[in-house]
Amino acid sequence: MGAMAISEETEKKRVLIFSGMSTSQSDTFYAHLEQSNPEINGSFRPKDLNEANYVVYLLKTWDDARFAPGAEELPEIFKHIEAIKKPATDVSLKAALSDDRDIRFIFYSLADSEYPSLECIANHLALEVSRKQGDHFENNMIRDCAAKLVSAND
């Protein structure tokens, strides 16, 4: 009797993004996300919170959070945005949904991070998605990426 190998495929993480990106920019962004972190499903586009593990907001400024999709439905999440010490480039919050799933909300203020490239944001987000519970590390991906651009232009 031969041994049977059982392979478990880990479910890839799904990212819902709210931004002003065009469809082609969004496709490029998702592709870069998946390339940077294979744990991310870059081809699936969640339509709502129930289909996502991560919800990402690319805001021009923190003030734009008041008008972002979900602000009225999820006031407990968005009240944290108002309390941010500014300037800040990003904020990550975890919440439990009614079905006992955890979901992470990640907000970016593009103005406070000096409008980084979508590649910089995708790299930062890919690293954030790789965080496991209990991980404590500072993610300087956006700042480091911006510093490279400045030094390249000097």
Q: How far is CA 31 from the centre of its chain?
A: 14
- Evaluate if pTM is beyond 0.75: yes
In degrees rounded to 5, what are phi and psi of residue 62? Answer: -60, -30
Domains of the chain: 15-153 (3.30.379)
Structure tokens at 2: 């031969």
Give every CB contact of residue 93 below 8 A, 6+ residues apart in sequence: 77, 80, 104, 105, 106, 107
Quick: pLDDT tens for 1-53. 444 433 335 689 999 999 999 999 999 999 999 999 999 999 999 988 889 99
Place of tokens 């993480």: 13
Q: Strand runs (DSSP E) across the chain, as ranges?
A: 15-18, 54-59, 90-96, 102-109
